[in-house]
Amino acid sequence: MVSTHQFRQEIRSRLELAAAQGQQNLTIECGELYRSVSKLPVFDPWMIFCCNAMRAEMALTDHLVFDDSNASLLTIHYALPRHQRLRRLH
């Protein structure tokens, strides 16, 4: 099983790489992230850890992407650079 912490590490790694490449933003789709880190089927019951990690890494300038044609559970558009204060989810 892959933990929320492992997903958060992968998200941060991707954000750092994108920022180092001079990108202005990075969009991460939950299914793709989950497959790349866990090597498990996308609708595995443990996907909640991936979704939680993605939400936990959101900053005030990030936003959810809503696309009816995409069957993904969650897609987030992260703004770069990441010096913004993270939002707290209660």
pLDDT at 9: 97
Output b/e per residue, 36-52; b: 16+ Cβ within 10 A.
Answer: ebbeeeeeeeebebbbe
Express as a percent the part of the chain with pLDDT over 70.
Answer: 84
Mean pLDDT of all residues belonging to the chain: 86
Please give the model's pTM, rounded to 2 decimal places.
Answer: 0.84
- The residue-averaged pLDDT of 51-62 equals 94
For 13, phi then psi, to 5°, come to -60, -45
Q: What's the residue count for the chain?
A: 90
